[in-house]
Chain A
Amino acid sequence: MKLHDYILSGSCYKVRLFLNILDVEYEKVPVDFYPGKEHKKPDFLALNPLGQLPVLEDGDLVLRDAQSILLYLATKYDDGNTWFPEDAATRGRVAMWTAFGGGEIMAASAARLHDVLNYPFDIEQQRRAAHAAFIILDDHMAEQEIAGCDWLAGDTPTIADIACFPYIALSEDGGIARDEYPAIERWLARVINLPGFIDMPGVLSPWKAPV
């Protein structure tokens, strides 16, 4: 299995993190996203016409979109069936929050691309949109905790948590402070303490429990 990967991409990190948690072996193919813009060149576009990372190749299967890759990996490699549980309502909630991770939360990614790599985005608009998404997630997480659940879609971690984690944990790279989101901070700490957790540059892990 090959992951076309960029070390500073939060979307690639979703996949790296999940593969590590599942303890599945794979090969990283580094893509020169910056400064080389290799993801916009013909070889890569043949793999993913959208010109976006990550791309996963498993045998003949070629998958783009981090959320879709998480779904695939959970279905194929999670023997315990806990990361994408079969219960219909749980599965619906997992899909909903997984989509949130690839959707609304991506405003935080845009803010980061603006601040780190000078992408020509309207930074104030992206930060506002990210904060709006963070408020929704923080409220949701607080309600989950009151109901006795530690995770986005229920009482066990799922691919929804993996899909939402990276760009929230990286938000300060894009000038988005999280001090007003205590439930998010507690949830981030839980993710960081998952067995098999790995970080990426920009993700601080001060909450990591001593080994």
Chain B
Amino acid sequence: MTTDIDPATLNQWYVIQSSDDLTMASPRDTRLLGIPVSAARRDDGQIAAFEMSAAGETVRELPVQERYGYVWTTLGTPDVDLFDMPEFDEEGRRLVVCGIATVKTSPGRIIENFLDMSHFPFVHIDVLGAEPNTEVLPYKARVDADTDELWATDCGFYQPKAMASSTEGSEVDYRYRVPQPYVAVLYKTSPGKAGAFDLVGILPQPLDETHCDIHYFMLVFDEDNSDQELIQFQQGILMQDRLILENQRPLKLPLERGAEMAIRADVASVQYRRWIKDMGVGFGVA
């Protein structure tokens, strides 16, 4: 029942499939926030999505939009438009859709892990980090008062292989943008274009409070690597994260201060938890 879900969670747009993968031949029967949802592409190319009953009957048609290579829907009534990602209009960028990874944890844990740099040398060994370069240098995390988006900026980390196209280790600049609770986009130094940032986005679709289908993409300046190479690089990283994520307890993200011991490197996580708590998010949190 949608009436059991807090408005902050309900009134969000969620990705349920990539545009390319929702074809007439392959509809998507899935769940969103614990509720059965079915989406299909009609022969005129338009998409229809429906809330379904447990018995498989149509309850109602849902709003749908296709943007950024994905199909978005909502079970509520979002009071703002879907956030803007101007990078999608930039010339020379390539969108690489990496598929879905199913992970047994809450969407908040997934976003928080994505924002965390301290695990790089221990989980993504010799790729996103390596001992002894384990220090997370001071960075900033704040909620932008105008847009109500969370940003972590001025992040730097030494990475042996920052992106698929990296040929050597480098100091990589990071910025994180969290435009809504369950969407996070990483901007990192592009090995393919001087002065530019490549994007990595994760879009967890909460199947229920502790199960997610993570949709993820890259939007890169990269003329050297095939889609296959880029996809495998990113899938490899996500599978390393999956192993850690599924072993975190509790699965729901604790929002009470002091529930877990944070250190200075966790300031993005501290801000994230406070931000969604203030918003009134009650789904998938403890």
Q: Does chain A have a CB within 8 A of B262?
A: no
Q: Are B242 and A34 touching (Cβ within 8 A)? A: no
Which residues of B have CB within 8 Å of A115? Answer: 102, 104
Which residues of B have CB within 8 Å of A30? Answer: 226, 228-229, 231-232
What's the dominant secondary structure at chain A's contact region?
A: loop
Q: Does chain A have a CB within 8 A of B236?
A: yes
Q: Does chain B have a CB within 8 A of A46?
A: no
Which residues of A have CB within 8 Å of B229? Answer: 30
Residue in B21, B226, B228, B237 whose CB lies within 8 Å of A201: B237
Q: Does chain B have a CB within 8 A of A36?
A: yes
CB within 8 Å for A36 and B231 given contacts A173-B243, A201-B236, A201-B237: yes
Q: Are B237 and A35 touching (Cβ within 8 A)? A: no
Q: Are A116 and B242 touching (Cβ within 8 A)? A: yes
Residue in A7, A116, A199 whose CB lies within 8 Å of B102: A116
B145: shortest Cβ distance to chain A, in Å? 38
Which residues of A have CB within 8 Å of B239? Answer: 8, 116, 173, 201-202
Q: Which of A120-152 contact B (CB under 8 A)?
A: none
Residue in A32, A118, A202 whose CB lies within 8 Å of B243: A202
Which residues of B have CB within 8 Å of A34? Answer: 99, 235
Cα separation A115 to B103 with both chains bound (whole Å): 8
Q: Does chain B have a CB within 8 A of A6?
A: yes
Q: Are B231 and A173 touching (Cβ within 8 A)? A: no
Residue in B125, B227, B228, B236 whose CB lies within 8 Å of A8: B236
Q: Does chain B have a CB within 8 A of A57?
A: no
Which residues of B have CB within 8 Å of A104? Answer: none
Q: Which of B64-113 contact A (CB under 8 A)?
A: 97-102, 104
Q: Chain A: residues with CB nearer than 8 A to chain B?
A: 6-8, 30-32, 34-36, 38, 115-118, 172-173, 199-202, 204
